[in-house]
Amino acid sequence: MIKGASRDVKPSKIQRFPLILDSGFLILYPMPPRLHRVPYPGGTLVLGRSTVVMGVLNVTPDSFSDGGDWIDPDRALRHARSMVREGARIIDVGGESTRPGSRPVPAAEEIRRVVPVIESLAAEKVLVSIDTSKAAVARAAFRAGAKILNDVTALRGDPAMARAAARAGVAVILMHMKGRPRTMQRNPEYRDVVEEILEFFREILRNAWRAGIERDKIILDPGIGFGKSPEHNLEILRRLDEFCDLGRPLAIGTSRKSFIGRALGRRVDNRVSGTAATVAAAILRGADVVRVHDVREMSDVARMTDLLK
């Protein structure tokens, strides 16, 4: 129970807790955990009970933290299997880096990288998401067995994407990005970063619905590091609970990102502890899915943090 004068309580908190007025004081009771059932072809992802760990599989030569490590399909598969053993419930397969300054990859090349890996994982009944913003790549990935679309452009990168996702009936992760990867880190500015992302989410939820994507299939992601300064990223994480008011589950990808390196003075291969702190904080403030590279460590963090909610 939280007690305090009404002026101390932010509107977003009031919406989430039933309250009783008691002589000028608010008495706030936490609500039971929110449960979301997110359907995908052939199954349902239940979110809100225990945190879902999404393991990152970058089949790219140039990703910011593991570029080139998994470009060979056999190595990629072995790595995906070990992430599943270590606790990943989703494997997020990507064939194009979106790191700051990166250049787009032709669709045919992206398809060549991701499809064989997705086919093998799907045959092993692994739940796969495809990290792409190109409709042609998404369609090939759905045919190969991917059940979730993870689009860092939130359906704005390719006009054919919304329809491709709606037709396939996949679950969809829609991420906020300000600008484009090539230029997004050049001095990003916001009036209020959380308010602007909330407005963006409201608009893309409407657009997705108009395109025929049911609301219950959508997971939202504020896009840590995508057109944000280190301070913006910290503020998003401090105020993550404000996104819960939209009534959709939240995914978050802080893993090994540069704001952690900046805060701690650590290089990309030495950010596991910093990532752990961000994952725990995000879970306590409402994250349902955590997108991570270090699956063994972050599965422990998630399980332990779930017990502390």
Binding residues (CB under 6 A) for ligand HH2: these are 56, 58, 60, 63-65, 94, 97-99, 131, 150, 152, 173, 175, 221, 223-224, 251, 253, 291
- Cβ neighbours of residue 111 under 8 Å, at least 6 residues apart? 95, 136, 137, 140, 141
Q: Which is nearer to ligand HH2, 28 or 141 (CB)?
A: 141
Shortest spacing between CB 70 and ligand HH2, in angstroms: 10
Q: How far is the CB of 201 from ligand HH2 (least distance, A)?
A: 13
Nearest residue (CB) to ligand HH2, 55 versus 87: 55
Q: Is the Cβ–Cβ distance between 198 and 148 less than 8 Å?
A: no
- What residues are paired with 91 via a beta bridge? 55, 128
Q: Give the nearer residue to ligand HH2 in terms of CB position, either 26 or 80.
A: 80
**CA dist., res. 115 & res. 106, Å (int):** 14
Q: 28 or 248: whose CB is closer to ligand HH2?
A: 248
CA distance 247 to 34: 9
- The residue sitting closest to ligand HH2, measured at its beta carbon, is 253
In 4-125, where does DSSP find H-type helix?
11-16, 73-85, 107-123
Tokens standing for 281? Answer: 């904080």
Give the pair of three-digit tokens for residue 167. 């037709």
From CA 208, how far away is CA 279, in angstroms rounded?
28
Distance, in Å, from the CA atom of 252 to the CA atom of 237, rounded to the nearest integer, reads 9
Q: State the DSSP H helix or E strand holding residue 90, giving kind and residue range, or none if neither.
A: strand 90-94
Run of H or E including 21: strand 19-22
Angle of helix 135-144 relative to helix 161-168, nearest 10 degrees, comes to 20
257 is catalytic: yes
| Minimum distance, C-beta of residue 46 to ligand HH2, in the bound complex (Å) | 19
Output 26 or 175, the one with its CB closest to ligand HH2.
175
Q: Which two tokens stand for residue 35?
A: 């449960």
Taking the complex as a whole, the smallest distance from the CB of residue 97 to ligand HH2 amounts, in Å, to 4
Query: Which CB atom, from 115 or from 177, has the smaller least distance to ligand HH2?
Result: 177
The DSSP H or E segment spanning 141 is helix 135-144
User: Of 257, 267, 296, 303, which one is the catalytic site residue?
Assistant: 257
CB of 92 to ligand HH2, least distance (A): 7
Closest distance between ligand HH2 and the C-beta of residue 73, in Å?
17
Considering 291, 296, 303, 309, which one is annotated as catalytic? 291
Residues catalogued as catalytic: 257, 291
